[in-house]
Structure 1
């Protein structure tokens, strides 16, 4: 489980990450990242009804929360990260979700670093 200070709960935070942040997509999930401030990185999850019924959605969300807890230290301070599950996440194994989450995070963090290099 993610700690309380690492969870995103306010709608404004979700909107900021999705509207102003960088985006990286995979078949089972999409991640949105924006850096604002210098506090502990926070993560939020979006699992819509398109993924499945309530039991399936909660199972996908629990898996993603568990996977993200292990990867939280990779995020820079002040990060707001939204992980949005796509319908194929319902039938994906945990290993596949982990691999796709790693690929999406690698891509979005590389993009952030390259955009920071261009500003220097």
Structure 2
């Protein structure tokens, strides 16, 4: 699970990453990455809207993404902000598919 310092919590932070960050699209997710250059831990945020499914489905997808990001945390540069937006067909994706997409997008990221 992601610790508090590794999570985006403010709406303004989400908006800044989505507007100014680099975009990487997959079949089930869109990943936005931004580097602030600050000396702090990398932070992750998740956008899973109601088109994905019921609350149970959305929370399942969010938990899968949190586990993927916790696993990938050591490879993400310090000071980075990452927002992962799940597309409506993301409910059909398994853990392995989500992991493959997110790891591919995070590895494409330039420091």
TM-score by length of 2: 0.94
Partner of 1:103: 104
Deviation, structure 1 residue 73: 1.3
Q: Which runs of 4+ in 1 moved over 4 A?
A: none
Comparing both structures, which one devotes a greater share of its residues to helix? 1
Partner of 2:65: 64
Which structure 2 residue ranges, 5 or more long, are not aligned? none
- Secondary structure of the residue aligned to 1:15 is helix
Give the root-mean-square deviation of aligned CA atoms: 1.0
Which structure 1 residue ranges, 5 or more long, are not aligned? 114-120
1:16 paired to 2:16: yes
Instruction: Give the number of equivalent residue pairs.
Output: 110
- 1:70-109 C-alpha deviation (Å, 9 max, x unpaired): 00111111111001111121011111111111122222x1
Partner of 1:44: 45
